[in-house]
Amino acid sequence: MIKAVLLLTLVIVGIAIFLLCFNVIFRKDGKFPETEVGHNKEMRKRGLICAKEEEIRMLRRESRKLRDKSCSDEGCGSCTTGCGPENL
């Protein structure tokens, strides 16, 4: 009885694994679809970006605002606000 249940369980798990990877096995290139936002062309077309990239863009915008308000025309040599590119 235990052998039958174990065999049935193995068969069900095997079928489930096969069905989950069916698309990958029988596709021409055999690769998983790209799900990362940064590399997915369709998500890029829709204007979606990953959170890390969005944060970097936001930090750049904030540093430009900081630079525009507090930096002098002499450049960052005399600046103490820490808005230079080395601080991004």
Its domain, for residue 60, covers: 34-70
On whether residue 51 sits in a domain, the answer given is yes
Which of the two residues, 17 and 62, has the higher pLDDT score? 17
- Asked if 71 and 82 touch (Cβ cutoff 8 Å), the reply is no
For 6-52, the pLDDT digits (tens) are: 999 999 999 999 988 887 777 767 666 667 777 778 887 888 888 88
Burial class (CB in 10 A: 0-12, 13-18, 19+), 37: middle
Based on the structure, what is the number of domains in the chain? 1
pTM: 0.36
Using 50, 70 and 90 to split pLDDT, how confident is the model at 3? very high
On whether residue 76 sits in a domain, the answer given is no
Using 50, 70 and 90 to split pLDDT, how confident is the model at 58? confident
**Is the pLDDT assigned to residue 61 strictly greater than 70?**
yes
Residue with tokens 């069905």: 19
